[in-house]
Chains A and B, each alone.
Chain A
Amino acid sequence: MIDVVFQLIAFFMLINNFEQAEADERVVLPRDQLAAPPLVHRQHSFLLNFGYLRDQKGVIIDPKPYFFFGDERAELASVRARLRQESQYYKTTGTDLAEITVEIRADAEVPAGLVQELIQMCQEEGIAFQRFALKATQKATEY
C-alpha cells in the first residue's frame, strides 16, 4: 500500500509542475470553435496575460484592464519596458526575433484597440517582434 501511495505522490508532484503559472486564471478568454492548439509546438514564444480584475462571481471590479505578471500587474504603457527586456534577452541569446511568437491571452471584454496597440508596441524599434498568436478557448469558462 505504501508503495502505491508513493506512486500517487510522485504522480501528483510531477503533474503539478506542468501547470504553467503563466496561463493566468483571471483572464477569461474569448470562445471560438476553431481555436485549436497549434499542431507543432512553438519553439520560441512568450506569453502575455491581459485581463480584468474580477470578483468571485466574475463581475468586473476595475474598469481598466491590466497585464498580469504573477502577483504584479501593469498597465499597457508600463509593459514597454518588459517587452524591451524580453527582446534584449532573445537578442543576447542569439535567437532570431522573427522566430519568436508573442502569445497574447486577452480577456474577451478588453477593447480591441488596446490589443492592437499592444501589437504595435511589440513591433516598435528596439523590440521588433513579428509573429503573434491570439489565444482563445473552444469551451466557455463558467462562473
Chain B
Amino acid sequence: MTPMIDVVFQLIIFFMCTLKISEPEGDFEISMPLGAPNAAADSDAQLPPFKVRLRAGADGRLAELTFNGTNLGSGESAFAKLNSEVLRAVNALGAIGKEQQEKQEVEIDSDYNLNYRYIINAIGACSGRMQNGVTVRYISKIKFAPIRQQQ
C-alpha cells in the first residue's frame, strides 16, 4: 500500500513541476485579401486608407511615426498621439456616414528593419483604446503596404 502512495506522490510532483501557466495571448487580425497588391478597385471603402508610416533608425528602433503626412515624433508618446489622431479622423468620417467609418482601412508602411514591436504598437494604436476594461474600436481593417526592401 505504502509503495503505491509513494509512486502516486512522485507522479503528482512530476506533474506539478511540468505544469506551466502561460499568459493569455491576444492578437490583431489583418486583412490581406488575395491577388490585390494595387487594391484600389477591390477596397470597399470609398476613401483612401489612412496611412501610417514608420521610419526606423539603424538599430531597428522607431525614428519617426507619421500619420497621413503629419509627423508624430518617436517614443512612447508617438503612439498615444497616433491613437488620438486616428480617433479624430474616424470621428470626422462620422460626418459622412457610419458605414464609411466601419469600412475605413489603415495601411501600415514600415521600414524593413524596424523592430516588430512597433508594428504591433501601431496596429494597437489604430485599432482602438481600452476604456474601463472595455475595448472601444476605431478601425477594424488593417493592412500592410508593399514591402520596402532593405537598403
Contacts and interface: CB of A to CB of B under 8 A. Distances in A.
Nearest to A136: B120
B95 interface: no
A16 to B, nearest CB: 6
Nearest to B126: A34
B27 A103 contact: yes
B135 A107 contact: no
A5 interface: yes
Contact of B26 (A15, A16, A101, A135): A135
Given A16-B19, A111-B113, A134-B28, 19 more contacts: A2-B5, A2-B8, A5-B12, A9-B8, A15-B15, A15-B19, A30-B120, A32-B120, A32-B121, A33-B129, A34-B127, A34-B128, A35-B124, A108-B120, A109-B116, A115-B119, A130-B34, A135-B26, A138-B24
B34 A110 contact: no
B74 to A, nearest CB: 15
Contact of A110 (B27, B28, B116, B129): B116
A9 to B, nearest CB: 5
Interface in A27-57: 29-38
Interface of A: 2, 5-6, 8-9, 12-13, 15-16, 19, 23, 29-38, 101, 103, 105-113, 115-117, 119-120, 123, 128, 130-139, 141
Contacts of B115: 108-112
Nearest to B147: A116
Interface in B106-139: 110-121, 123-124, 127-130, 135
Contact of A34 (B9, B15, B26, B116): B26
A35 to B, nearest CB: 3
Contacts of B19: 12, 15-16, 19
